[in-house]
Structure 1
Amino acid sequence: MVSTVWVIGIGTGDPGLVTYEAAEALRTVDVFLVADKGEVKHDLVEARRALCEHFIGDTHPYRFVEVPDPQRGPDAERDTSAYGAGVRDWHGARVRAYAEIIDDLPADAQIGFLVWGDPAFYDSTLRIVDRLRAECGPFEVRVIPGISAPQLLAARHAIPLNRIGTSIHITTGRRLVEEYVPDLGDVVVMLDGYLTCRELVERYPDLTIYWGAYLGGPHEVLRSGRLADVIDDLVELRGRLREEHGWVMDTYLLRP
């Protein structure tokens, strides 16, 4: 059993986007558990390692443990029910991998999970920590918010996420097409590996899209414009970026 698990939002990898509270929390952690998703995405592990080195240095002894991430499965080929079951199975495998490490730690150890962006936005860490608490015994959970991709997207494009008196709707690429109507207001789309907004072009060509990839990182790319005018270029650009870097993290806002 461990004493405390910290779930720390670290923004998007730039030390300048890590809050003071998060930096202080980093310096209390004894063991960081970091999911290793393979060679293609290993730079995401290294970005987390670099943040620890930057903010902790030699002020506090700590371990940085890379945990091989279980295979998640073919999400794009699953319907909603199968997708949910697949994610739950993946979470269970993660819990077992983390629990095996935690069981060998001292009772007063402080564990840290470094969450890209903010733990509240489409991230599974808090669900996994809840299952860990049931698996490994009671421990305190401390959550530190971080700067999220939607916040940074708005800042980079110098826009608010909503217009006066309108709503903000946050959804995923998987749900966008079935949910979208202009009455939703401004729509932030996350976890969209296929730019499914292109399926809206025929019905809503005059939507404005504000798009950003690798936000806050050295490879940051921004685009905006009328959806019908820019979508083909965006699809080509996203594919080229994925081929060049091996992965893409992007998000976008659709504005009627």
Structure 2
Amino acid sequence: MLEAGWALARPVLQALDPERAHDVTLAALKALPLPSAEPDDPRLAVDAFGLRFGNPIGLAAGFDKNGAIAHKAGGLGFGFTEAGTLTPRPQAGNPRPRLFRLPEHGGVINRFGFNNLGHAHALAMLKPAACVLGINIGANKDASDRAADYVAGIRTFAAKADYFTINVSSPNTPNLRDLQKPEALDDLLARVLAARDAVADDHGRKPVLLKIAPDLSYAELDAMVRVARDRHIDGMIVSNTTITRPGA
């Protein structure tokens, strides 16, 4: 059924502006009933960070920025889904156009800039998910204390998230990657983990993962890993969007 629907929808979506096609797809998935997914083969299960993933294929952050269809991701066959990146206050993101198709490579380039409707909207939208739910959190572009925005994300979504992703690696928010520098990263992780532990009695201990950039030198990567290990975070996500454009 899904395959037949996609065959019909694909030419229409590809005729639209890429971001408009994205929005139409989200709206359709939100509005339409989905068939029940086939149960995962038990051999596909993955145990990580104290969580069981029904299968290792997930819907990455960036598609469902506001958590509109997080509860349906399991019905689409995903083993996990990640809502966000979410910032405390609504944010328009970068000017359009900011999503570009690369048909010859089967890919896209995005320059969204953490466009989302904010914590309060996502909190109201999120429904119980049929698969593992991650919440990807970030900082508003104009925040004077960016670490405080991440702390706010932990506090806001502690009751909803199965795990948190700390996104300090998007190339589309000015100076965000400065949070990958050892001193800034150490302060950020200390505050985030303290917030996570402060709500653990009420909501359980939620794993915290750090999402890093692919454009790091070996020395920068070593420094980040050292801070992450010293702070005993649960894992790392490799990786965010590159800023390099190698030749074909």
TM-score by length of 2: 0.30
Structure ranking higher on relative contact order (CA contacts 8 Å, 6+ apart): 1
Q: In proportion to residue count, which structure has more strand?
A: 1
TM-score by length of 1: 0.29
